[in-house]
Amino acid sequence: MNRILLITPAILGLLLFNSCKDEEPEDKDVPVKIIHKLKSLVGISPEDAKIIIISWGHTYLASEDYGQNITMHSFESKPPSSSYLLYEKSNIIYLCEYNENTNKSNALERFEQFSGQSIDYMYNKIYTYEGSCKDNDYQTTEYQTHQAFKDYYLANKTELQSCSETWERIEETITTQYKANYESYKTYISYTDKLHAPTRGFQK
């Protein structure tokens, strides 16, 4: 009887450990973290955002005045493989952009990750969608559904000059981009808090 009482807590502890292990969240790649990082930077002051981005290992570069009380702040990693751009109006950040400068295959892969995680983020939300692709002949095709965009993109991605996808809601917008410029390849993801963004004129 005593032996049974001793064994039972041990088995129970093992079951509880395995149960907790199964419930651990999946370790998502950088893109999902980037979406939430960008979202965490809007609605706060540039001073607070600056402290956060520097803590992520990026260096503050400069600010640029766009008029209409709009200022852009830029940050860069060392070595300069990635950067953040923050846009503020009246001392509140309303738009954040993250971009990476890499080789062609990595840029395309990262674009796909950014777009895939954007789709996950927008799951079960009401939004409008726009996609576009520009080929080597500088012909642009536009799409109203992600599936139509994806079909063309997968068949032609190695020949594209650029492509982008945008998911827009009443209160927020997420945009992903890929751009090829000679031997330079960049991928972008941006998050806009429309509740703090300018209602007219310049947004980015």
Answer whether residue 88 is part of any domain.
yes
C-alpha–C-alpha distance, residues 98 and 69, integer Å: 22
Answer whether residue 182 is part of any domain.
yes
Answer whether residue 200 is part of any domain.
no
Answer whether residue 151 is part of any domain.
yes
Answer whether residue 204 is part of any domain.
no
Q: To the nearest whole number, what is the mean pLDDT of the chain?
A: 85
**2-55 pLDDT, tens digit each:** 444 433 444 434 333 333 333 333 334 444 478 999 999 999 999 999 999 999
pTM here? Answer: 0.81
In this prediction, residue 203 carries a pLDDT of 55
Number of domain units in the chain: 1
Answer whether residue 16 is part of any domain.
no
Full residue range of the structural domain in which residue 42 is found: 30-193
* Crossing angle of helices 30-41 and 46-55, rounded to 10°: 150
pLDDT band, residue 70 (cuts 50/70/90): very high
**94-104 pLDDT, tens digit each:** 999 999 999 99
Answer whether residue 4 is part of any domain.
no
Answer whether residue 102 is part of any domain.
yes
Cβ burial 84-115 (10 Å sphere, 16+ → b, else e): bbbbbbeebbbbbbbbbbbeeeebbebbbbbb
Is the per-residue pLDDT at 139 higher than 70? Answer: yes
What is the CA 29 to chain-centroid distance, rounded? 11
